[in-house]
Every structure is written in structure tokens, then in C-alpha cells.
Structure 1
Amino acid sequence: MNKDRILEEAKEAILKCDAQKAVAVAREALSIGMDPVEVLSNGFSVGIRIIGDLFGRGEVFLPELILSSQVMKEATAILEAAIETKDTKKKGKMLIATVEGDVHDIGKGIVVSLVKTQGIEVIDLGREVPAHTIIEKAVENDVDIIGTSALLTTTIMEQKKLEEELRRHGLRDRFKTMVGGAPCTQRWADRIGADAYAEDAAEAVKKALALLDAS
């Protein structure tokens, strides 16, 4: 079946860091009327999760991780353009960033792509973003949610720092906060006072929508 083949090829394009193939698969999926969210969630994102797991086990290295992330971005740009042409009511605004000292943004990229499909406007600050910049941009863009990602145990404390800085500036009640990344847990979110923790991109979408509904 074309659908299953396309999802498999989307995954393989990420694993092989083949940007040309990824773009071709994304275009073919749209040409036969596949749901871009499904292609993103069940195709390209599967490949990215596998790459992340391989990196965690030391079976692939940082250059491959960064390259596969770039391939993912090229493919998702095509799918997101198709999603954005649909009449999706805007539900809120979310700022997202990988914390200072952390260069990993694959997981964050998946979250950004999936959150956008739900009518949530996303401001992606990229990686290695200091807490003060996150706060400054959150205020400047008047966002509803601040989401941060940390993949290293050495950078997870930046999420705690962000919560402390928001409180220090009297801004904690203005924003909902969400944390994610390999070393994060619900216990960590509770400890630092974050409003939500998401284990993966799919859960991040659910939690973001729940936070917006509750606000």
C-alpha cells in the first residue's frame, strides 16, 4: 500500500540523512492526499526518535544527529506549509527553546511541528537559549506557554533557573510553563514548579492544549 510505503520511506530518509529523499517523500505524500500530520507523526518523527535513541546509546554521533535534524526540518517545512493552508483556528501562542548549554534540538523540532498542527502559534528560539532571553521573548511576544527542552543532566538546571527568574521578576503567573527532554520527569516538573511535563511530542501537544483550555 502506498501509505505504508511512504511512511517507511520517510523514516528511512531520516535514518540515512537523505534530504533529497525526504523532500521527495513529503511531496509524494501530499500529492496522493495523505494527511501531513500523519506523515509527520508516523513517518519522519519515527526516524528522528530512532536516531535519538541511537545517539543515546553511543551508536551514532553528534554530526549524524545534527544532519538528521536538518533533513527533518527540510521535510517538515513542506508538510507544515500544507497544514498552514488549512483553516485552523488559532488557539494560543507558545514559545519553545532548548536551554542554555544544550545543543540538542531534535525532540524540540518534533514538538514544534506537531504543536503547530493544532492551531497553536509557535515561536521557536532554537538551542542554547539563556533563561533571560526566553523571558524577554515571552514578554515581547505575549505568549501563553513557555516550553523548554533539556537533553543533558548538566543543563536540566536551566529549567529550574527559568522558573526562579520568572518568580523573581513577578512574571510566573503570566505564563504556563512546560518542560521536556530525556532527563526530565513529572517529579522534576513538580519540584521546580513547572505547570506540565511532556514525555514526548504527542504528549506535549495534549498538555499544551490542556494548559490553554485551563487558562
Structure 2
Amino acid sequence: MNELLPKIAECIEFGKINKAAPFPPNMKGQDGADELTRQAIEQGVSAQQILTDGLMVGMEKVGVKFRENRVFVPQVLMSAKAMSTAMLHLKPFFLSGEVKQKGTFIIGTVEGDLHDIGKNLVSMMVEGNGWKVVDLGTDVKAEKFVDALKEHQNAFVGLSALLTTTMVSMEKITKVIKEAVPGAKVAIGGAPVNDDFRKKIGADVYTPDPQGLVEYLNSQVA
């Protein structure tokens, strides 16, 4: 294995974006995800291998730490930023079809809810694990989810909510999606929801953390 790949994974795990970034302090002055990904491409490492053995390894470690409360939202956001920076170098290979993505995940914060930190964290984790993410933003109506599903056949859907008042929207949107695209798989997440609520509204999966969702999605295409 190319010696740069474990270094890329480490940069993602600890949120080292580039050489100029002061965070984390113990990696100050070192190349970050930006420089190392570019170097790996220049050395002929395939974009697929950089994704699989670099970015995905780092993001999985972050996801597990976050689940176990060993890191918190600010650190995860730094990791996500490092991953996004590295992904910019890989995007041309995704577009050319050289890198195969596992599938498509459509995500949005439900109608009436403008919170996006949780949604963004999930998006980053899922993308960092080799999925194409279609982010519909916040305050998303049912019809927009359905339109996205019709455009992206066999995609999975994620509904996010942070307010108890918008759980009603989650229920309504799930029903509309299931009626319009009967085979669609709907995941829900957010502070006020739980697995009992998932069962009540007819959604397919609830996970309390992004890593759980990643593991569910991966299990569906394994």
C-alpha cells in the first residue's frame, strides 16, 4: 500500500485540512489532506484506492469515536472539512466513472425545520464512505423528496429533524414517499426521534448517530 494512504486517513481522522491549517496543534506545519491527496494522485495511486484506503478509513474512525462520545461536533466538522478538501481532487474521477460509488443517498431537513448541522454531518459521513449524496437542504417539502427519488432511481432517503414540532412533517413526508415510490427506503434521524417513532410512521431505519446510518447503507449494497 502506498505510504501516503495511512497519512491521508490520519488527516481525516484528526481534521488536518492542509499545511496552513493550525488544527490539530500536534500536526502544525505538516501536509494535510489537501496536499497528501494531490501527491497520491501524482504518484499514480488510483482515486478509488485513495477513497477506499484513505478517506473511508479516516471517516469510519471519526464516526466510531463520535458514536462513543470520544470526539464532539467541532472535531467531526474539522474532519468533514478535511474530507471535502480531499474530495475536490477526486471529483473528476467520480464524474468520469473511474471511481465507483456504492449508491445514492438523498437527504434533507424536513419541511418547517431550518436546522442543518446534523444533516450536514450525516451528509459528510455518508459521502466520505463512498456514496453519492444529493443534499436537498432545509425546509424540504415531500414533493421535492419524491422528485429527487424519481430522478435518482433506487436511491435511499434520509429525513432529518431537530424540532419536536417538525416530527409531524417527517410522518407526512414518509407517507407521501412510500405512496409515490413504494420500494423506497427511508431513514430518519435527529434529536427528537427514536425507533418507536420510526415504527409509528412507517420509516425503514432509525440510527442515533451517523456511523449507524453508514453501516446500514453499506449493509444494503454489500
TM-score (norm 2): 0.63
Structure 1 counterpart of 2:22:
none
- Tell me how far 1:67 sits from its aligned partner: 1.9
Q: Pairwise CA RMSD of aligned residues?
A: 4.0
C-alpha separation in 1, matches of 2:178 and 2:78 = 36
Contact 2:41–2:47 under 8 Å retained in 1: yes
- Tell me how far 1:22 sits from its aligned partner: 0.5
Which range is displaced more, 196-205 or 100-109?
A: 196-205
Contact 2:5–2:50 under 8 Å retained in 1: yes
Structure 2 counterpart of 1:147:
157
TM-score (norm 1): 0.65
Structure 2 counterpart of 1:179:
187
State the aligned residue count. 194
Contact 1:10–1:43 under 8 Å retained in 2: yes
Give structure 1 regions of 4+ aligned residues with deviation exceeding 4 angstroms: 87-94, 98-102, 154-161, 180-191, 195-198
Change (3 A) 1:177 1:85: same
Q: Deviations over 1:152-173 (max 9, x none)?
A: 9x66996774243343xx5532
Change (3 A) 1:171 1:48: closer
C-alpha separation in 2, matches of 1:92 and 1:61 = 28
Equivalent position to 2:117, from 103, 117, 130: 103
Q: Which amino acid aligns with 1:174?
A: A
Structure 2 counterpart of 1:65:
76
Gaps of 5+ in 1: 117-121, 211-215
- Tell me how far 1:32 sits from its aligned partner: 3.3
Q: How does 1:60-209 map to 2 (within 5 A)?
A: 60-86=71-97, 94-97=105-108, 100=113, 101=115, 103-104=117-118, 105-112=120-127, 114-116=130-132, 122-126=133-137, 129-130=138-139, 133-141=140-148, 142-143=150-151, 144=153, 145-148=155-158, 161-167=169-175, 170-175=176-181, 176-179=184-187, 191-195=200-204, 199-201=212-214, 203-205=216-218, 207=220
